[in-house]
């Protein structure tokens, strides 16, 4: 049997799911823990969950990503806790994650901006040099006629410097345009997964792998969709992925139960 248990934070869904697993099979209980211990709050939540199940005979398997790589003993009842953490781990906590790729691209853009700043400073210095050369030419223009040829050569040199300066300014403008395009591309990547991998497929394939191995699978997931806030683009993307995964696992589940303030509400497959 495959059961999805959904609820908001602090709804009692975890305790309900654990008790449900014990009722199904007390002898072969597997707990797949997906939450990574980030910060004191995360550690406290993990400790609280460990205390809740310490007398329930669970064998714990920690799996933060790549759920499909887990091997489950036959005739087991598995509790997967929880999908929302698993999705976050897949998206944000490995070397190929969206966030790390964006960070690396952001660092590259920062370096390019620093290079442009240095080039701009060099151009400013060259302009100051040209100003001083022009002042020198003005003074030399008041000297003897025999210096006129020298002055002409200096003016030609100045013209060449000015042409070089114009070309450098044009190059700087082009680099600025390239930087703008890269920043626009980076912004687009914050709100799309076109080249980042199909997390929905990866997570659901992992869940299907567990289903094929276990007698019973209880999947805990979060309801994070009802607070009415508009978050940053990356968070909205995460919520979109989690919502699609929730839809997929509810389709394949025999039962779907929402826990509200510790009270189970059977939405699918109630007997």
Same domain, 75 and 18: yes
Same domain, 11 and 88: yes
- Give mean pLDDT, residues 127-150: 76
Residue 45 neighbours by CB distance under 10 Å: 15
Residue that is last in its domain, among 139, 171, 189? 189
Q: What's the number of domains the chain is made of?
A: 2
Query: Looking at the DSSP assignment, which residues form a beta bridge with residue 191?
Result: none
Residue that is last in its domain, among 189, 210, 228? 189
For residue 195, what pLDDT is reported? 39
Q: What is the pLDDT of residues 166-215, one digit of tens each?
A: 888 888 888 888 877 777 666 555 545 443 448 899 999 999 999 999 99
Same domain, 6 and 87: yes
- Name the token pair of 71: 């091997």
Q: What's this model's pTM, rounded to 2 decimal places?
A: 0.63
Same domain, 51 and 128: no
Residue 104 and residue 261: Cα distance in Å, rounded? Answer: 42
Same domain, 130 and 81: no
Which of the four pLDDT bands, split at 50, 70 and 90, describes residue 144? Answer: low
What average pLDDT does the chain have? 83
Domain residues for the domain of 144 are 98-189
For residue 78, which of 261, 171, 207, 235 has the smallest C-alpha distance? 207
Give the β-pairing of 255-260 and 263-268: antiparallel
Quote the percentage of the chain above a pLDDT of 70: 85
Same domain, 179 and 105: yes
Same domain, 150 and 18: no
Same domain, 16 and 90: yes
Same domain, 88 and 29: yes
Residue that is last in its domain, among 154, 189, 224? 189
Same domain, 177 and 62: no
For residue 191, what pLDDT is reported? 43
- Least confident range from 3-17, 100-114, 211-225: namely 100-114
């Amino acid at each position: 049997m495959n059961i999805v248990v959904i609820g908001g934070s602090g709804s009692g869904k975890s305790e309900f799911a654990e008790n449900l697993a014990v009722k199904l099979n007390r002898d072969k209980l597997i707990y797949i823990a997906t939450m990574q211990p980030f910060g004191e709050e995360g550690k406290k939540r993990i400790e609280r969950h460990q205390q809740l199940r310490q007398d329930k005979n669970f064998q714990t398997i920690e799996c933060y990503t790549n759920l499909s790589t887990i091997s489950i003993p036959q005739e087991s009842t598995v509790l997967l806790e929880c999908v929302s953490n698993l999705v976050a781990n897949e998206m944000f906590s490995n070397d190929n994650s969206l966030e790390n790729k964006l960070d690396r691209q952001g660092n590259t853009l920062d370096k390019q901006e620093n290079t442009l700043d240095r080039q701009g400073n060099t151009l400013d210095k060259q302009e100051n040099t040209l100003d001083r050369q022009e002042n020198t030419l003005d003074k030399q223009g008041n000297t003897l006629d025999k210096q006129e040829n020298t002055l002409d050569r200096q003016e030609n040199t100045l013209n060449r410097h000015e042409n070089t300066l114009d070309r450098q300014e044009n190059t700087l403008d082009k680099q600025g345009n390239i930087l703008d395009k890269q920043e626009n591309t980076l912004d687009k990547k914050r709100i799309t997964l076109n080249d980042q991998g199909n997390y929905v497929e990866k997570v659901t394939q992992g869940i299907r792998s567990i289903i094929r191995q276990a007698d019973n699978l209880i999947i805990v997931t979060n309801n994070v969709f009802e607070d009415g806030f508009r978050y940053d683009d990356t968070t909205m993307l995460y919520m979109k992925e989690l919502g699609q995964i929730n839809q997929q696992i509810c389709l394949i589940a025999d039962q779907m139960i929402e826990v509200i303030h510790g009270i189970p509400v059977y939405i699918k497959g109630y007997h």
